[in-house]
Structure 1
């Protein structure tokens, strides 16, 4: 705060010419200029844009988990689409969740047991292979994930979702049913098992390397708001119209 100037005084002066509530004043230089708080925002809020990092969001999930499907299709994917191209968000998905693995001493292969049965293991393997064959480019693999997870039978729909995205389904199928997919899912299992704190349920949401129950619930309730509140750079225009009424409340979890 500027010396001798209180926030109340600032509000009183700015309210005469400002069309935005105080929480938006420092979101852009145009708004700050209109509201007469450009100097204050420069001192208090704006940082070197070249040093600003996107909000890093990691989602640990399962292909057939009802809560994961709900979060991915109703909150995460729409939010990701809304903010695409803004640089506000860095996203990675880990399809494994509450699965367990045991290595076969004779073959070196991993045997997976998934919470929702063999079909879920098949779905997890497919999604791990999709990531590999899209070079882990979220802009390529996330639409495929969303297509799969939005289907009534995700595993059955996978071939169509993969082919529609321009990938060779035969390549993905070979990967998911062989040693390559086995290795990929083991790597995802290791990443999941190395979480600190250990995950207790899925979806398990980590923001900038941190998981807390508050972060988890805020992400599930209103991910756009969490992103905008967490991002340290100049807020994109999308941050000016997130709607509290569009919350998604997840009412149960897969423990």
Structure 2
């Protein structure tokens, strides 16, 4: 029996992923993204969070918010974000949340909720964090300080280390390797 190439490829990837998860018991997924990119939002809402909630003990997620952002100046540390200042604010909020929210499922729910609507990133943080029972004030305070900028720069350094280099967002890595990197 012959299967169409697309079906065979999808089935093959599912088998490889399944084997990897059960062989090592966990898989680490790196997500390199931007907060105002519609492909990133769709990935979080329709793929990442649903997959994680099905196997939370078998998937470790490393979020790296930065994308195609550019460090504009190092003194003071400023950025040019692909989708403007609101995205820079959202990226700092996500960077601070990653540093401050220790529970991975809470972090992923917060990231998914805030990425749905970033027109007012600070207000969205308050709304989502309050609904999820997460203290929003430390995240908001961090995002407004040089600490938020430093955390975002660290994410930029991680993004620059990707090989092959980031071309599209989201970019997904599997177990820290860029071999077979998935680009949305």
- TM-score band, normalised by shorter chain: 0.7 to 0.9
What TM-score do you get using the length of structure 2 for normalisation?
Answer: 0.80
Q: Which of 174, 177, 181 is the matching residue for 2:141?
A: 174
The aligned length equals 166
1:88: Cα distance to partner? 2.4
Corresponding residue of 2:7? none
Structure number with larger C-alpha Rg:
1
- In structure 2, do the counterparts of structure 1 residues 199 and 152 end up closer, same or farther at CA, with 3 Å as the change threshold? closer
Q: SS where residue 159 of structure 1 aligns?
A: helix
Structure 2: segments with no counterpart, 5+ residues: 1-13
Corresponding residue of 2:104? 138
Q: Deviations over 1:46-100 (max 9, x none)?
A: xxx8x8251111000001111000111011111111112xx32221111111100
Q: Which of 54, 66, 70 is the matching residue for 1:100?
A: 70
What is the RMSD computed on CA atoms of the aligned residues? 2.5
Q: Which of 52, 77, 92 is the matching residue for 1:125?
A: 92
Conservation of the 8 A alpha-carbon contact between 2:34 and 2:65: yes
Q: Deviations over 1:157-208 (max 9, x none)?
A: 2211122222332222211011111111111111111111111110011112
What TM-score do you get using the length of structure 1 for normalisation?
Answer: 0.59
Conservation of the 8 A alpha-carbon contact between 2:32 and 2:63: yes
- In structure 2, do the counterparts of structure 1 residues 154 and 146 end up closer, same or farther at CA, with 3 Å as the change threshold? farther
Q: SS where residue 129 of structure 2 aligns?
A: helix
Equivalents in 2 of 1:209, 1:116: separation in Å?
27
Higher fraction of strand: 2
